Structure 1
């Protein structure tokens, strides 16, 4: 077993050396990648900082002369990512461990995010107690808060670093024999207010031999699904819950970025898409909602989650954006519209029921949708069993048409 440690040996050589020794004491081989730019390494690396800089498209001399911290972090992150990918492809990397402050946390997690899901990744960081989304992204990076700064060895830092190293030992030396069936995989987007639809569709698809992976539409969930489509892990997409676009467009906290809905379209992956939870924008606790939205219609989902009803104007914009995204698809694509409500809160009698807002969404979708996209409207709400089954049947038909369905 081999673990790669990514760290700045000019400032964290002692601490990285300690982690190396803990790993080696457990019989694990160690490969150290030096990402330090300013000074000489405190211990000998296996991959030098010069090699990392070159892999990042520059030279160590240039980074030192330029003295631009942002440029250096970006270049060393790019270089470290390239090197860990090479080590992994060669079978010389079973896990990655990182140690550091904000700089090396950025560098090391950039490298970690370049590796497939499932490869053990542990980052000991001074930044791990705050907003870690920029470091973790849509991957399975594990963040461990260092508690104190990683500056010298003491009774606290030794314990935290040793725990991280031993956790890595456990992950790389005790890999379970997980049976992976060679079945076509469907990615499905879900929110609490579209759960019934997803459960019905998932059961239908699994009965027909597909494997399903459900992604919570929380921003990072959508990003993860898009990334796995591009990696070829996902063979078909049932995009029930496109709510992340509401947050992207209006300014909520669960946006997945402007590339949401691009992966399947660009790769030609079969996709069936609906309008799940486009009736809402997500915020944190009620007092965290920006003042600009005062006077809007809110629903307190729980003390930590506040939902805001989208307006007719916002829905018209959402319909235009989504329709244009789907119209650019290179593969079989269908849009299913539930005329009776886009979430459990949008049905007649529920808190977000707003026929005018829904009509604005539906009309904008139809107006901007290319003829290449199959359009189906149903007089049901999104969680109706008939609607969910229709979505799944359509995707199954697309998968069979392109010879991606399970063998019968």
Structure 2
């Protein structure tokens, strides 16, 4: 960054004035320009912020008097969160801020999470909170690039412990704003792809190189909760030319009550945005939970696999898999763009094969059977006999993708037009190559 970074500082100045003024000072000393936004409801802060509580309320299309008159602290802070989010988004879009930091307890954190979500991926975001990394915070409330630090000793007033935390946070957000690399100007269309590590799902190794050879940039997301959240948020902002969503395990986790999920809108945002999608059911048979916790009682008799000391998996039964299949079908049916679903009847993750700890042919058969009826037109269904980690899966995906490129459904990759040749000939060849998979 060539200019001095401008840091938006958000908090309730009527109750946190000492802390916010300390942060203003530390940001300035670190070489940033603090831009203060006050989200107070009941009183004025003892300083003049660049954006006062009246401006925040106005951004929510209300007044501070109306907010205060609601008589309910949750309703009041929700309104201020809406105003702060809208105002922060506008300031970022017009180049008036480069990064964001907030401080608060549960109330301030609730507001700060909305502000962070309103800012694009890549804009530095830092929240100093008394509930940092707490399970009180649902996955869908967390911006995928959010940085948090526990506000230790910060319940009331300044002290040595909280000054240490606040100064670290201020230095971190200024440093991030100074050194963040904004996305380079690249005319390659971006493909979003999901996977669950190279030990469980391996298709990304072949697909990434093939797609890059075709002139695309491939961004792979690790579907352990926040990875899927990041992909969904980028898709919601129409950030992909196409999505290859082949690891839906976060959806299975959500439906089975696991904390390792991406929220209720997993597998929805690309479809809502009309982005072309090729989808597959990678790892939907597994339910994750922390290795350091007991196996959930409902899964006590199911096959178990400890991936490491943090995350373990069990398989869900046949009926649960049928329920997952129906949920996938419903979500894809709501898509406004083209969708193809590839169904590997030979297996959907590394450890479900014969001799592996999560092998369950009856459960897989139940899922495949339900999936055949859950997918309905206009979604394309391509069933293959092989495993999701096999060559047939990769070749099927590429055949669908190349057909869509030739038809103009997906934009051509950088230099792709020079490789395509006669469009009608290619379309006929690709249709012939894939028709044996389609139902």
- Pairwise TM-score range, normalised by the shorter structure: over 0.9
TM-score (norm 2): 0.87
Q: Flag structure 2 segments of 5+ consecutive residues without an equivalent.
A: 416-439
Q: What is the deviation of 1:365?
A: 1.3
Residue 148 in structure 1 maps to residue 153 in structure 2:
yes
Question: Residue 114 of structure 1 corresponds to which residue in structure 2?
Answer: 118
Residue aligned with 1:9, SS: coil
C-alpha deviations, 1:350-391, integer Å up to 9, x for none? 222222211111111111222322222222111113312322
Residue 169 in structure 1 maps to residue 169 in structure 2:
no
C-alpha deviations, 1:237-289, integer Å up to 9, x for none? 11111112211222222233332222222222111111100121111126433
C-alpha deviations, 1:19-60, integer Å up to 9, x for none? 112222344322211011122212211111122123224332
* C-alpha distance in structure 1 between counterparts of 2:173 and 2:152, whole Å: 19
* C-alpha distance in structure 1 between counterparts of 2:122 and 2:94, whole Å: 17
Counting only pairs closer than 5 Å after superposition, residues 63-74 of structure 1 correspond to structure 2 as 63-74=67-78
Residue 348 in structure 1 maps to residue 354 in structure 2:
yes
Question: Residue 43 of structure 1 corresponds to which residue in structure 2?
Answer: 47
Question: Residue 329 of structure 1 corresponds to which residue in structure 2?
Answer: 335
Work out whether residues 242 and 410 of structure 2, in 8 Å CA contact, stay in contact via their aligned partners in 1. no
C-alpha deviations, 1:141-187, integer Å up to 9, x for none? 11022221153223333232222222222222334476331211111
* C-alpha distance in structure 2 between counterparts of 1:26 and 1:301, whole Å: 42
Residue aligned with 1:370, SS: coil
Residue aligned with 1:88, SS: helix
Question: Residue 419 of structure 2 corresponds to which residue in structure 1?
Answer: none
Give the direction of change, closer, same or farther, for the CA distance of 1:283–1:176 in structure 2 (3 Å limit).
closer
Work out whether residues 188 and 217 of structure 2, in 8 Å CA contact, stay in contact via their aligned partners in 1. yes
Question: Residue 225 of structure 1 corresponds to which residue in structure 2?
Answer: 231
The one of 385, 394, 399 equivalent to 1:379 is 385
**More deviation, 378-387/91-100:** 378-387
Counting only pairs closer than 5 Å after superposition, residues 3-402 of structure 1 correspond to structure 2 as 3-128=7-132, 130-131=134-135, 133-134=137-138, 137-176=142-181, 179-192=184-197, 193-285=199-291, 287-401=293-407, 402=409
Q: What is the deviation of 1:129?
A: 5.0
Q: Number of residues paired by the alignment?
A: 408
**More deviation, 191-200/338-347:** 191-200
Q: What is the deviation of 1:209?
A: 1.3
Q: Flag structure 1 segments of 5+ consecutive residues without an equivalent.
A: none
Residue 405 in structure 1 maps to residue 409 in structure 2:
no
* C-alpha distance in structure 2 between counterparts of 1:27 and 1:238, whole Å: 42
Give the direction of change, closer, same or farther, for the CA distance of 1:111–1:196 in structure 2 (3 Å limit).
same
**More deviation, 133-142/65-74:** 133-142
* C-alpha distance in structure 2 between counterparts of 1:95 and 1:71, whole Å: 27
TM-score (norm 1): 0.93
Give the direction of change, closer, same or farther, for the CA distance of 1:160–1:256 in structure 2 (3 Å limit).
closer
Give the direction of change, closer, same or farther, for the CA distance of 1:305–1:23 in structure 2 (3 Å limit).
closer
Work out whether residues 187 and 414 of structure 2, in 8 Å CA contact, stay in contact via their aligned partners in 1. no
* C-alpha distance in structure 2 between counterparts of 1:403 and 1:333, whole Å: 12
Work out whether residues 201 and 350 of structure 2, in 8 Å CA contact, stay in contact via their aligned partners in 1. no
* C-alpha distance in structure 2 between counterparts of 1:261 and 1:44, whole Å: 44
* C-alpha distance in structure 1 between counterparts of 2:192 and 2:60, whole Å: 33
* C-alpha distance in structure 2 between counterparts of 1:257 and 1:169, whole Å: 31
* C-alpha distance in structure 2 between counterparts of 1:328 and 1:257, whole Å: 17
Residue aligned with 2:164, SS: helix
Work out whether residues 99 and 105 of structure 1, in 8 Å CA contact, stay in contact via their aligned partners in 2. yes
**More deviation, 242-251/171-180:** 171-180
* C-alpha distance in structure 1 between counterparts of 2:289 and 2:146, whole Å: 25
